[in-house]
Copies of this chain bind each other. A is one copy, B any other.
Amino acid sequence: MEKAILTIKANYDSLTKSEKKIADFLVENPRDILPLYITEFAEVCGVSEATIVRFARKIGFDGYQQIKIAIAQEHHAHPVNENITADDSPYDIFGKVCDDIYCSLEKTQKSIDKDELTKCCNAILKADDIIVLGLGNSAPIANDASHKMLRLGLRAHPYTDNHMQAIAAAHATEKTVVIGISHSGASKDILDAMHAAKLGGAFTVSITNFQKSPIENVSDAVLHTVSDETNYRILGLSSRIAQLAIIDTIYSYLVCHMEGAGDIIAKTEAVLASKKCADVKKRTKRNT
């Protein structure tokens, strides 16, 4: 993703002054090149056409057309906020739901803090036990997260009941990582539990959709999702997907960095095989 723009950034230092003008423009407003002819684009950048062609070649494209096509492919405009109406067929709705998800993931990718993410992954990797908290809409996310970690043999537990959350948090130690999932970042019970866990010395991580929400005060690392749901779609449909993408990221990181992850996964798969129909066991080792 973003191959052309990434290449431009990667080779930025080897560019000449005029070429940097072009690079700056493209990195800032990649989409603006799309409707322009080379002549117009040259004028906008304040360089000659020849320089643009040389620039395109340097970045690895055949010419102006090719770089434009590449940028068009990377910076496809996903229709934003196309509201779902009663006239839409279920299939139409599916398309719009997907568009919302694309939108949300792209924005989350742009805004997520790389260092917080890294901090978080490493804390989990080193933790003795992991507590995942979520209520209501976020409860399934908490379950999903801990389920994945459990499959890797980690001591991960979901708590989706505010009493249990309080109890679990009260017994957290310095070796505990607590992951609090809250779309609004303001669920009282989650905040209380996170606070209690911090008192016990735990490392606390929050996954939330709102900047400067109360949960940040009790979090050692904050992972922000971004989504702009409108109207009745207040349920955080697409922000929830972004939360899952974060969970998957952590899971994948763990798989890559845990010793013997392959064997552990195989073990999990093996015990689950007996839960499936006989004729399918052979066909696939995939589960549930």
Residue numbers of A with Cβ under 8 A of B are: 1, 34-35, 66, 68-69, 72-79, 84-86, 88-91, 93-99, 101-102, 105-106, 109, 112, 114, 117-118, 120-121, 134-141, 143-144, 147-148, 151, 182-189, 191, 209-210, 213-214, 232-238, 240-241, 244-246, 248-253, 255-257, 261-262, 265, 269, 272, 275-277, 279-280, 284-288
Contacts and interface: CB of A to CB of B under 8 A. Distances in A.
Contact of A101 (B101, B117, B147): B101
B69 A91 contact: no
A84 B250 CA distance: 12
Contacts of A75: 73
B286 A184 contact: yes
Q: How many copies does the complex hold?
A: 2
A132 B96 CA distance: 24
A233 B262 CA distance: 11
Contacts of A265: 232, 234
A249 B93 contact: yes
Label chain A's interface by main secondary structure: helix
A253 to B, nearest CB: 5
A235 B74 CA distance: 28
B91 A117 contact: yes
A147 B256 CA distance: 33
A113 to B, nearest CB: 9
Contacts of A137: 144, 147, 287-288
B275 A187 contact: yes
Given A121-B90, A139-B143, A249-B97, A255 B232 contact: yes
Contact of A94 (B102, B117, B213, B236): B117
Given A1-B95, A97-B252, A184 B287 contact: yes
A184 B288 contact: yes
Nearest to A113: B91
A203 to B, nearest CB: 15
A144 B136 contact: no
Contacts of A134: 288
A288 B105 contact: no
Contacts of A235: 148, 151, 251, 287
Contact of A69 (B34, B144, B284): B34
